[in-house]
Amino acid sequence: MTSTTGDRLLEFDEVVDRYEPVIGLETHVELGTASKMFCGCSTTFGAEPNTQTCPVCLALPGSLPVANAAAIEATIRIGLALGCRIASWSRFARKNYFYPDIPKGYQTSQYDEPLCTAGHLDVEVDGETYRVEIERVHLEEDTGKNLHVGGATGRIQGADHSLVDFNRAGIPLVEIVTRPVPGTGAKAPEVARAYVTELREILLTLGVSEVKMEQGNLRCDVNTSLAPVGSLEWGTRTETKNVNSLRSVERAVRFEMRRQAALLDDGVRIMQETRHFHEDTGSTSAGRSKEEATDYRYFPEPDLVPLAPDAAWIEELRLALPELPPARRARLQEEWGVSGTEMQWLANAGALGLVEQTVAAGASPGDARKWWLGDLARRANEAGVELAELAITPAQVAELAGLVDAGTVNDKLARQVLDGVLAGQGGPAEVVAAQGLAVMGESDELVAAVDAAIAGAPDVVAKVQSGKVQALGALVGAVMKTTRGKADAATVKRMLEERLLAG
């Protein structure tokens, strides 16, 4: 079995029969602070290149950094939410490497003295709980962004020239690193996805980041290794960089497992390397080899004072944490009266917040779940996007559910309304008005259609009048057909009964 990328892939079932995966995730989160990590520059996304810079984030000689207190607080809150130990003493360090998008020639990061260590995050997949140990949560700064112009791929190979935008340079970045996660077997791809989903929920709940994966607020590096079942040693891992959607996290792990297993079957050694993920094919390709570890020559940042957060302040932050996702799920499960499995399903589909907002906008919990997990989930899946990326808001879903409740549209018409909304034709009521999608009342048009159905099928009418009332169904069907589904079936049935069975 070969893939379109030329890699030989083993069938997933065969992979998990014979190999044990170990996964690990490194997640970078851009914090939503108003200003950058070490200067006062704005962090607003999408501004003209290089307009949000100053001597500090451009690393001009003589400029000195000052740490952003809001970013430190946000990092500690993330650590607390993940059950981490918060360091009473922590330092920034210089991570030295040269790349055009880091103006200083080093990144200010944390090395052996991170702010938070030893936490965990529990995720549930198919009724099974997996504990993901968190090794560390540390604070650093983002790099600028290179833009390679003139090539087909946007990569540096084949480009005419490159541009660099330093607006992003110095935006506070939190890195959350898990310990290796063994024991997930065939569920490894789903556990990886569930972990990022749950982490994203926590970050959203804390309000520390917008966590828009498509804007790069949340970026994942996914480590995957395989070892033969029963082996006492773990295999060599690859690190798939910058996986930028929940779905891609799952696909990247699955692909790497299948690719590595085929190599191991052939007796080929797995290279320790970084790999690029390709959204279009769901495949990975080789990046930089990591066989020789890069020496970043870390040393403590001499321009910043060490961080020594006060224990009382940490306790205050702990007590002020909002209701976290597991507690929130338990409460909503009770309020909505659904099973634990369905709640987990909602959460893993990224639908929990959407359903909650839809209920808040006036829909019943049942209707909100039906729309998000039914038609909308199917459409998101077909389009290969996350539910939240669909061009419809929870308020619009609630409005649509309201139109069905009020009898303005039936289920079939409601799906056409959905098409209109998703195609950007406006809100549900606007689409109904613009396309004339409302269910027909007892209008002249409907009366005419009912009369025509009766006149067109004397044999059926005779059957109905001789007592075979179920034959009425054929007449209802005929009316629904002439009205192209816009009539209300119950109304049509009542009108037919009045005409054929009265007296």
Contacts with Zn ion, residue ranges (CB under 5 A)? 39, 41, 54, 56-57
Least separation in angstroms between CB 45 and Zn ion: 16
Cβ nearer to Zn ion, comparing 17 with 303: 303
Bridge partners (DSSP) of residue 90 are: 307
Cα distance between residue 404 and residue 121, in whole Å: 40
203-235 b/e with 16+ CB inside 10 Å = b? Answer: bebbebbbbebeeebbbbbbbbbbbeeeeeeeb
In the complex, minimum distance from the CB of residue 174 to Zn ion, in angstroms, rounded to a whole number: 19
Main-chain phi, psi angles of 24, to 5 degrees? -155, 145
Tell me, what DSSP letter sits at residue 398? H
Question: Closest Cα partner for 132 from 210, 22, 281, 36?
Answer: 22
Minimum CB separation of residue 359 from Zn ion in Å reads: 42
We find the least distance from the C-beta atom of residue 56 to Zn ion, in angstroms, to be 5
- For 174, phi then psi, to 5°, come to -105, 135
Minimal distance, residue 144 CB to Zn ion, in Å: 11
Select 3 or 50, whichever has its Cβ closest to Zn ion.
Answer: 50
Nearer to Zn ion (CB atom), residue 57 or residue 454: 57
Query: Given the structure tokens 């997949």, which residue do they identify?
Result: 125
Q: With respect to Zn ion, which residue has the nearer C-beta, 54 or 324?
A: 54
Q: Closer CB to Zn ion, residue 54 or residue 457? A: 54
CB of 58 to Zn ion, least distance (A): 7
Handedness of CA 65, 67, 68, 69 (dihedral sign): negative
Question: For residues 89 and 221, is the Cβ–Cβ distance under 8 A?
Answer: no
Q: How far is the CB of 32 from Zn ion (least distance, A)?
A: 17
CA 435 to CA 414: how far, in whole Å?
12
Helices (H) and strands (E) in the chain, counts: 17, 14
Strands (E), 179-272: 218-228, 238-243
β strands within 43-171, DSSP E: 85-86, 93-96, 106-109, 116-125, 128-141, 145-149, 161-165
* DSSP state, residue 409: S
Q: How far is the CB of 302 from Zn ion (least distance, A)?
A: 20
Distance (Å, whole) CA 340 – CA 329: 9
Nearer to Zn ion, 39 or 492 (CB): 39
Distance separating alpha carbons of residues 452 and 475, to the nearest angstrom: 10
Please say which residue, 40 or 183, places its beta carbon nearer to Zn ion: 40
Please say whether the beta carbons of 288 and 50 come within 8 A.
no
CB of residue 41 to Zn ion, shortest distance in Å: 3
Residue 143 vs 396, nearer CB to Zn ion = 143
CB closer to Zn ion, 56 vs 446: 56
Tokens of 226: 């395989």
104 or 412: whose CB is closer to Zn ion?
104
For the bound state, the minimum distance from the C-beta of residue 336 to Zn ion, rounded and expressed in Å, comes to 46
Question: CA dist 238 to 259, 284, 316, Å?
Answer: 11, 10, 40
